[in-house]
Amino acid sequence: MTRYLVGRIGQLVLVLFGVSVIVFFTMHVLPGDVATLLLGERATLAQLASLRHQLGLDQPIFIQYFYFLLQVLQGDFGMSLRSNHAALADVLVAFPVTLQLALAALALAVVIGVPVGIIAGTRPSGLLDNLLMTATLFGVSMPIFWLGLMLLLLFGGLLGWLPIGGLMPTGLDAPRVTGMTVIDSLISGRPHLIWESLRYLTLPAVTLATIPLAMIARITRSEMLAMGSLDHVRTARAKGMPERRVILRHILRNALIPVVTVIGLQLGLLLSGAVLTETIFSLPGLGRLMVDSILSRDYPVVQAGALFIAFVFVLVNLVVDLTYGLLDPRIRRS
């Protein structure tokens, strides 16, 4: 087990290294010159040259990368070119917003998606199955930015039930502890704050949850069907087990193994979706920060954000793999 973990952490380092290479070199072939960007168009050539020297931009790119790597290993990604904060600090401020959104969406997707898949999978080709599967097919085909807008239009605009964007009502904030509004509100213990934070989270979470929900439902259904035709299920029935228990113990349990993998894979989807969701609902999350930084060539933030996201990504995959081991004894003991 320890060996396995060590190996996986090794892989993690490797992936992070790869991502740092990709991000660093793409950012440095960007058209446009950082020094000009910082000093403005009117800077003299001498000023520019001195700044470039100061930033190490006059060095060969491999040397630059080496220094970059050295700094990164010390947790220093440089300063944001826009906010003048440490790049990593900007990333860490934005991250809880995205984390809260992604967790809420994932929770919705799993809590609704798995049962929907079970219901459909135990009645293949029935009316309910057809209805649910049509609905999930609509779900996976939905452009997330359009869905977000439509939900906003309906619940925010026409019905006016929910806010049309932002994290919290202006001027109202729980003291920042985790950076996640719902949790901070819970800590503050003020019911009004909790209520508002949930109201603001609802639409973005539903928007972001739709596609993963539909995918989880579909994969659960198809795995239930696949497992349901296996020999050991016939054995269970031959033992005289009631159908309900056959489904729960011998079909669902085995079907969950691939479902968990898919849930793990949803993370990439969630983070991609978060970029668009945050744009639509004006949330100051990591996705939006990345887009803005890319658009304004704020490469320290892009680098910090990319590496941070890759780190989270690999970490989650590790957790998924460990869960896999818990569910499947064939992997656990080999």
Partner 1 sequence: MTALLEVAELVKHFPTKGSLFRAGPPLQAVAGVSFTVKRGEVLGLVGESGSGKSTLGNMVLRLDQPTAGRIVFDGQDITHVPDSALGAFRRRAQPIFQDPYGSLDPRMTVEQIVAEALVIHRLAQGRKAIRDQAAGLLELVGLNASQLSRYPHQFSGGQRQRIGIARAMAVKPELIVADEAVSALDVSIQAQIVNLLRDLQRRLGLAMIFISHDLAVVEYIADRVAVLYLGRIMEIAPARAIVRTPKHPYTEALLSAVPEPDPGRGRKRIVLQGELPSPTAPPSGCVFRTRCAYAISDCAKVVPELLEVAPGHRAACIRTGIL
Partner 2 sequence: MTTETVQVLSPTRKPLGVRRVLRRISARVGLLITVVFLLLTVLAPLVAPYDPYDQDLSSALSPPSWIHWLGADQYGRDMLSRVLYGTRTALLAVVVADGLALVAGCTLGLLAGFFGGWVEAVIMRIVDMVLAFPYLLLALIIVAALGPGLTNSMIAIGIVYTPQYARLLRGQVLAVRQADYVRASRALGASRLRLMLRHVLPNSVTPILVMATLQAGSVVVETAGLSFLGLGAQPPSPDWGALLADGQSYFLTAWWIATFPGLAIFLVVLGFNLLGDALRDHFDPRRTA
Partner 3 sequence: MTRPLLEVRDLCVDFAGETGVVAAVAGVSFSVSRGETLVIVGESGSGKSVTSLAIMGLIPKPPGRISSGEILFHARGGGTHNLTRADARTMQQLRGAEIAMIFQEPMSALNPVYTIGDQIIETLRLHEPLSRRAARVRAIEMLALLGVPDPARRVDAYPHELSGGLRQRAMIAMALSCNPSLLIADEPTTALDVTVQAQILELISKLQRQLSMGVIFITHNLGVAAEIADRILVMYAGQTVEAAPARAIFEDTRMPYTRGLLNSIPRLGMDRDAGPLPTIPGIVPNLSEMPAGCAFHPRCAHARPEPCTVRRPDLEQVGDQHVVRCARWREIAREMS
Residues near partner 2 (CB under 8 A) are 14-15, 18-19, 22-23, 26-27, 29-31, 137-138, 140-147, 149-150, 152-153, 157, 164, 226, 229, 267-269, 271-273, 275-276, 279-280, 287, 290-291, 294-295, 297, 302, 306, 309-310, 313-314, 317
Token pair 């887009």 in the structure block, residue: 291
Return the amino acid letter for 44: T
Residues 4-23 that bind partner 1 (CB under 8 A): 4, 6-7
Q: Select the binding partner of residue 289 from partner 1, partner 3, partner 2, none (C-beta < 5 to 8 A, by kind).
A: none
- Give which of partner 1, partner 2, partner 3, none residue 3 binds (C-beta under 5 to 8 Å, depending on kind): partner 1
State the Cα–Cα distance between residues 265 and 320, nearest whole angstrom: 9
Residue from 131, 230, 248, 319 touching partner 3 (CB under 8 A): that is 230
Cα 286 from Cα 95, distance rounded (Å)? 5
Residues linked to residue 86 through DSSP beta bridges, in sequence order: 79
- Say if CB 281 and CB 165 are below 8 A apart: yes
Q: With binding defined as CB under 8 A, does residue 234 bind partner 3?
A: yes
Instruction: Decide which of partner 1, partner 3, partner 2, none touches 330; Cβ closer than 5 to 8 Å per partner kind.
Output: partner 3
* Cross-strand pairs, 79: 86
Q: Which residues contact 164 (CB under 8 A, 6 or more apart)?
A: 152, 156, 157, 281
Sequence-distant (6+) residues with CB within 8 A of 319 are: 264
The least CB distance from residue 7 to partner 1, in Å, is: 4
CA distance 242 to 236: 9
Query: In the complex with partner 2, which residue's Cβ is closer, 122 or 222?
Result: 222
Residues near partner 3 (CB under 8 A): 229-232, 234-243, 249-250, 253-254, 257, 327-330, 333
